[in-house]
Amino acid sequence: MIRQVSVGALVCAGFAISALAGCRSAPELTPQEGTGKHLYQVCCAHCHDDNDLALKKVPPDLHGVFKLRAMPSGAPATDAEVQRVVLAGKGTMPAFTGRFTPEQMSALLAYLHTGLR
């Protein structure tokens, strides 16, 4: 009888662990975040994720940029500062002024706030 309880307990523990692991999965993106993800993939990822232009100075990794107090440049990690850098450019990063509508910029910022999931 003790052996059956132990096996049953192990099975229950396994189900509980599986259920808890499922709770940790990232929530789905909102439509706005999904739009931002698409914009990021089209306009940003080839430098910030892949560096497929073989830039000598590798652009900063933007995963979790809003989880930090400051961006790699030392500027505050705020929506206003990220938007300023995107629109004005910085260093080897070109300016994206006129390439994003205000709605698209909001979507891009919303996606960056997800940590790029």
pLDDT at 54: 79
Q: According to the model, what pLDDT value does residue 75 have? A: 92
pLDDT of the residue at 11 = 44
* Residue tagged 């940590």 (tokens): 115
The per-residue pLDDT for 39 is 97
Q: Largest alpha-carbon pair distance within the chain?
A: 73
**What is the reported pTM?**
0.74
**pLDDT for position 117:** 79
Domains of the chain, first to last: 29-113 (1.10.760.10)
pLDDT at site 58? 82
Q: What per-residue string of b and e applies to 48-69 under the rule 16 or more CB within 10 Å gives b?
A: beeeeeeeeeebeebeebbeee
Q: What is the pLDDT along the chain (117 residues), one digit of tens a residue?
A: 445 545 444 444 444 444 445 556 778 999 999 999 999 999 999 888 887 777 788 888 899 999 989 988 899 999 999 999 999 999 889 999 999 999 999 999 999 999 987
